[in-house]
Structure 1
């Protein structure tokens, strides 16, 4: 009898981990055969070039008014015109990474993390708690979430005995795989709300249906009640799945099992000693100007939001969020030298953006500045209708996101023909941004590009956590498809 009971327990443990084991096999395959993230953009460039050639676009051609024209270019000339079209956006994305990192590693936030790590008492509770914090912080700022939750997961792993370190790592990344794009730092929504960050070609497509300046305010995208309801539902599904994915004690692998040593967080984050003998060194170590500059930034932000038309949230764009992050980081680090050191440490996380975004700009140029965007829009319109267009775009955005792992620049690639097709099908423009957001975020559960900062802090490899993220995808993405279809029927055009 005892032997039968033991066999049943073993069989139950095997059954509980079938999805995780299949996902791990999938992860091993992707790591072996898929190229680096930069390889995706290189291949994508020539895939789009080939698509243009096949659909009859000229290789070389320039319109008469080259400086101001947004259509009529050949593929080669469109690539060159688009290559530097994302300079403003590239800097904004770089600063959001650096600002989020600097806030997350500041001494006061480190002390907050140490207190939060005391909340969960059991391995299952620790994994669900990490998932919830990851999604909440990811909603506030995706770059901050990557660092903040990874540091929290390390501290929880040190304090909670028997917790699976791999599952903790996967849940620390969950904000980027679920709600980040629908949050306050969502690239597509912020870009659509900012005239300076939206290329003229896209603004013309937007304005053709809604008029105005060719921008879509946040009140029509992430702050739609339908968008917020979708975010809340995905959050609940994510926490529920985190509870179910927690492995049994016999299958769990702790940080020690993986050969990873974790030091107490507050020892690692202790304030640096004030050193320096030159009279001028006081400026780097004194909080005086940090306080004054933070107050100056706060004064401006109060005036900025006070001048907003309609809701104050309409004044929230990339530049505003970056200013908030930098002023907050300056205040939290207290001494300028500490902030400089944090920015220097976080700079490597932004290197991929600096290198890859110009090439994404070239891809955008070949789509937006030629007739290719209208051709793709025609395909999407022909293959769908008003009801099924949103889930079709969610699936398409997710698939493309696996190969082009960048929410903002990928939206620039998709936006011209997605919005054009939405106009033709009379689907709400703002809702299509939400649809893109949810599909794009889901793709991050299937590819390791944005996991890299989290993995670096935790000392893990992508294959260690992607089994869990793949299982989370299987639960969340079908819910996304249902939500984008149902809620689309409640919104007016455009």
Structure 2
């Protein structure tokens, strides 16, 4: 009897590649809810938000309308030409338009000098080396956020340029990293911890007799007997440092979870952005063609000029009253950056080339800062600023005052992103109210700084240098910065309220 042949084995299905997996996500190829939220915000901002120039144009007329709604007049000038209050909205806009011109040039120089430092051969090698640290797209985004905050704590201007170039280098190395999220994290230091660091404008102003106006010193003296608040009572308060550390941790964790999965990420190539050569690649050497060019090509004058600058800086800080850090202002920061760029490039001709390459990064500042100056004028040179502050103080008490001032500082910072210079206008009534409510004055400087930094996550003013270097638009990254704001700012409000209870008055 014939037996049936044994059944043939079923063919084994060909192995299928597993869908891409994002580290930390629950399901392969899917995003966690934070990443989905950031992507939705980004989709909204890409479609509906204008670019940075459109933002300042809309902001101009929003403030104008607010002024009209609160009873400010269209026209009017004070009897005393030296007064900075009593203007109508139209005249205040004109007065304010060029009020930030010195600040504009300082900012343009700080961007250009910071760029020159960041692209110098030693810094380029450093950037190329640390760009190799992250191994995954999610790790790259969290790492960029950490570097941005660490460098901004030291100096916010250097951070803007250094981290933008680092982000670009990371994008060349890490396949599938979302370039929009990377750009947002490169800017993160300006939206979180910069004002609590060594270049925090308000803290430096109230610590220096030369920088703090007499009117501000009088209000401070009413509460503490002395017209100055040393840095030990502002940025070096343990409460301030702990609050800064907590915000740092929250932001890094958020950066980790905000990273989209590879299939939903948009790389620089997909956005149509050319990354260009790596910073590690050697620059083409320019050759000296005639004897007269020896000065530009020789390191001799670079060394001599650097030595002269260091000699001056030593005297400048040594002669400062009180803490040497009180002598640190934007002009001093610019001088330090230029001297560093000079010695790091070694030959003056290389520095000149770096400055030429970095100048386009300041173009947005040169155009938009005067427009922000007009907004500043409509708020500071009319009664609008005191009206806004009055609303907050009228509903405040000792417990809620720090949180309300953080909100006030954040809201006003959206329309007047001055990097701390508007503190001079607002300090008298912010500190006077603190005296009346018996809230620690130094802590109010910390509160004001944390609120002002948070505003940078909601408007594109300080994003301009980073965006220019990365080739992005404000709408590309503001979905991510808004998601970061939703996590960090509530934490700021809780921290400033709780820590205020641990500080005595004055």
Task: Work out which of the residue numbers 362, 384, 392 in structure 1 matches 2:396.
Answer: 384
1:101 aligns to 2:115 (yes or no): yes
Q: Distance in 2 between matches of 1:47 and 1:169?
A: 28
Q: Which residue of 1 aligns with 2:290?
A: 278
Task: Tell me if the contact between 2:45 and 2:479 (Cα under 8 Å) persists in the aligned partners.
Answer: no
Task: Tell me if the contact between 1:401 and 1:444 (Cα under 8 Å) persists in the aligned partners.
Answer: yes
Q: Distance in 2 between matches of 1:239 and 1:390?
A: 25
Task: Tell me if the contact between 2:201 and 2:420 (Cα under 8 Å) persists in the aligned partners.
Answer: yes
Q: Distance in 1 between matches of 2:366 and 2:220?
A: 28
Q: Which residue of 2 aligns with 1:453?
A: 465
The 3 A distance-change label for structure 1 pair 19 and 112 is: same
Task: Work out which of the residue numbers 129, 138, 153 in structure 2 matches 1:115.
Answer: 129
Q: Which residue of 1 aligns with 2:240?
A: 227
1:265 aligns to 2:278 (yes or no): yes
The 3 A distance-change label for structure 1 pair 87 and 464 is: closer
SS of residue in 1 equivalent to 2:397: coil
Q: Distance in 2 between matches of 1:114 and 1:24?
A: 29
Task: Work out which of the residue numbers 333, 341, 346 in structure 2 matches 1:329.
Answer: 341
Task: Tell me if the contact between 2:44 and 2:479 (Cα under 8 Å) persists in the aligned partners.
Answer: no
SS of residue in 1 equivalent to 2:236: coil
Q: Which residue of 2 aligns with 1:393?
A: 405
Matches within 5 A, 1:51-66: 51-57=66-72, 60-66=75-81
The 3 A distance-change label for structure 1 pair 47 and 264 is: closer
The 3 A distance-change label for structure 1 pair 381 and 449 is: closer
Q: Which residue of 2 aligns with 1:314?
A: 326
Task: Tell me if the contact between 1:193 and 1:218 (Cα under 8 Å) persists in the aligned partners.
Answer: yes
Q: Which residue of 2 aligns with 1:468?
A: 480
Deviations 1:340-367 (A, max 9, x none): 2222332233334334444444444444
Deviates more, 1:418-427 or 1:8-17: 8-17
Task: Tell me if the contact between 1:70 and 1:200 (Cα under 8 Å) persists in the aligned partners.
Answer: no
Task: Tell me if the contact between 2:26 and 2:32 (Cα under 8 Å) persists in the aligned partners.
Answer: no
The 3 A distance-change label for structure 1 pair 492 and 201 is: same
1:174 aligns to 2:188 (yes or no): yes
Q: TM-score, normalised by structure 1?
A: 0.84
Q: Which residue of 2 aligns with 1:243?
A: 256
Q: TM-score, normalised by structure 2?
A: 0.82
Q: Distance in 2 between matches of 1:356 and 1:162?
A: 34
Task: Tell me if the contact between 1:70 and 1:201 (Cα under 8 Å) persists in the aligned partners.
Answer: no
Task: Work out which of the residue numbers 404, 408, 412 in structure 1 matches 2:420.
Answer: 408
Task: Tell me if the contact between 1:40 and 1:403 (Cα under 8 Å) persists in the aligned partners.
Answer: no
Say which one has the larger Rg: 2
Deviations 1:94-152 (A, max 9, x none): 33222222211111100111111222334433332222111111222222222212222
1:16 aligns to 2:31 (yes or no): yes
Q: Distance in 2 between matches of 1:48 and 1:255?
A: 36
Deviation at 1:167, TM superposition (A): 3.3
Q: Which residue of 1 aligns with 2:165?
A: 151
**Aligned positions, number:** 488
Task: Tell me if the contact between 2:124 and 2:280 (Cα under 8 Å) persists in the aligned partners.
Answer: no
Deviates more, 1:197-206 or 1:315-324: 197-206
Q: Distance in 2 between matches of 1:450 and 1:442?
A: 12
Deviation at 1:55, TM superposition (A): 4.6
Q: Distance in 1 between matches of 2:382 and 2:128?
A: 53
Q: Distance in 2 between matches of 1:70 and 1:253?
A: 48
Task: Tell me if the contact between 2:190 and 2:456 (Cα under 8 Å) persists in the aligned partners.
Answer: yes
The 3 A distance-change label for structure 1 pair 244 and 140 is: same
SS of residue in 2 equivalent to 1:275: coil
Deviation at 1:259, TM superposition (A): 5.6
Q: Distance in 2 between matches of 1:365 and 1:200?
A: 21
Q: Distance in 2 between matches of 1:19 and 1:366?
A: 38
Q: Distance in 2 between matches of 1:312 and 1:351?
A: 33
Deviation at 1:332, TM superposition (A): 1.0
Gaps in structure 2 of 5+ consecutive residues? 1-14
Q: Distance in 1 between matches of 2:275 and 2:86?
A: 58
Q: Which residue of 1 aligns with 2:139?
A: 125
